[in-house]
C-alpha cells in the first residue's frame, strides 16, 4: 500500500470528449507526477506539480493539463480525446526523492 | 532521453542470478529502480544518487556509475515473486522535474 489513490479505476470515453482523472496522495507529499503508460510500454512522464504549480513537463500537447490542490489531491485533464490517449494513467507522489504510485486509471477512448 | 535497458527479457530458474542494465545518454543525478507486475502500478525498489554509491536490501542490489551514466540492478538467488517488468527511472537534476523511465526488462522466474 502506497497511500496513493486514484479515481476512477476504469473509464470509457469517445473521441473528442474531455476527461478528468483524480489522484489523492499522502499528507506531506508536496510533489505529484502524472504518467501515461500504453499497453506493453513503460510509463511516459506527462508533468509534475510542486506546491500547486507545474514544475516540469514531458513531451505532451497542451490539451493535457493538470491541477494540484492544497489538500494533496490533484487532477489530470485531457481535452479533445484521441484514440491514442487510451492508456493506463498513473499518478505518483514524492517524498524524500521516492515516488509512490497509485493503482492507475485505465482509460479507453473509442 | 529515454534510458535504454538490457536485456529486453530474461528467463531464470529459481535460485539463479540476473543483472539488468540501464544506460542513459544524459548526465544523471539519480537512478530509480521499479518492478511492475502485470496490471499493477510500479513498485519502488531503490534509488541511487549521484556519487556512485551501491545500495541493496535482501537479495536485490544496484550500482550507479555516474561517469558512464549507467546503473545495474543485481538480483541474486531469484524467487518466483521476482517475476515482472523492471524499469529504471532517471533524473538529470536535483529538482527532478523531468523523470524518464527506461525501456523495461521483462524477467520471468520459473520453478
The pLDDT tens digits for A14-39 are 999 999 999 998 888 889 999 999 98
pLDDT under 50 in chain A at which residues? none
Percent of chain B predicted with pLDDT > 70: 92
User: Using an 8 Å Cβ cutoff, are B41 and A89 in contact?
Assistant: no
Distance, in Å, from the CA atom of B17 to the CA atom of B5, rounded to the nearest integer, reads 17
pLDDT value of position B95: 66
B29 shares contact with chain A (CB less than 8 Å): no
pLDDT value of position B29: 87
**pLDDT exceeds 60 at position B96:** no
CB pairs under 8 A between A and B: 54
pLDDT digits (tens, 9 = 90+) for B73-93: 999 999 999 999 999 999 887
Q: Residues of A at the B interface (Cβ-Cβ below 8 Å)?
A: 2, 31, 33, 35, 41-45, 48, 50, 55-56, 58, 90, 94, 97-104
CA B79 to chain centre: 17
Distance, in Å, from the CA atom of A105 to the CA atom of B7, rounded to the nearest integer, reads 29
| Residue A22: CB atoms within 10 Å | 16
**pLDDT exceeds 90 at position B52:** no
Amino acid at each position: 500500500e502506497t497511500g496513493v489513490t486514484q479515481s476512477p479505476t476504469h473509464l470509457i470515453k469517445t473521441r473528442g470528449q474531455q476527461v478528468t482523472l483524480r489522484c489523492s496522495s499522502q499528507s506531506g507529499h508536496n510533489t505529484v507526477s502524472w504518467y501515461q503508460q500504453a499497453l506493453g510500454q513503460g510509463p511516459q512522464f506527462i508533468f509534475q506539480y510542486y506546491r500547486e504549480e507545474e514544475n516540469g513537463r514531458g513531451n505532451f500537447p497542451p490539451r493535457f493539463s493538470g491541477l494540484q490542490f492544497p489538500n494533496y489531491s490533484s487532477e489530470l485533464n485531457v481535452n479533445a480525446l484521441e484514440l491514442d490517449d487510451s492508456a493506463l494513467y498513473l499518478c505518483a507522489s514524492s517524498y524524500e526523492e521516492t515516488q509512490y504510485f497509485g493503482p492507475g486509471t485505465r482509460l479507453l477512448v473509442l | 532521453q529515454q534510458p535504454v535497458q538490457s536485456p529486453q527479457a530474461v528467463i531464470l530458474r529459481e535460485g539463479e542470478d540476473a543483472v539488468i542494465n540501464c544506460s542513459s545518454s544524459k548526465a544523471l543525478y539519480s537512478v530509480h529502480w521499479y518492478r511492475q507486475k502485470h496490471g499493477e502500478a510500479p513498485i519502488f525498489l531503490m534509488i541511487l544518487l549521484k556519487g556512485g554509491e551501491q545500495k541493496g536490501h535482501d537479495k536485490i542490489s544496484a550500482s550507479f556509475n555516474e561517469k558512464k551514466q549507467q546503473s545495474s540492478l543485481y538480483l541474486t538467488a531469484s524467487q518466483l515473486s521476482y517475476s515482472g517488468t523492471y524499469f529504471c527511472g532517471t533524473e538529470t537534476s536535483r529538482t527532478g522535474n523531468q523523470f524518464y523511465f527506461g525501456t523495461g526488462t521483462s524477467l520471468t522466474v520459473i520453478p
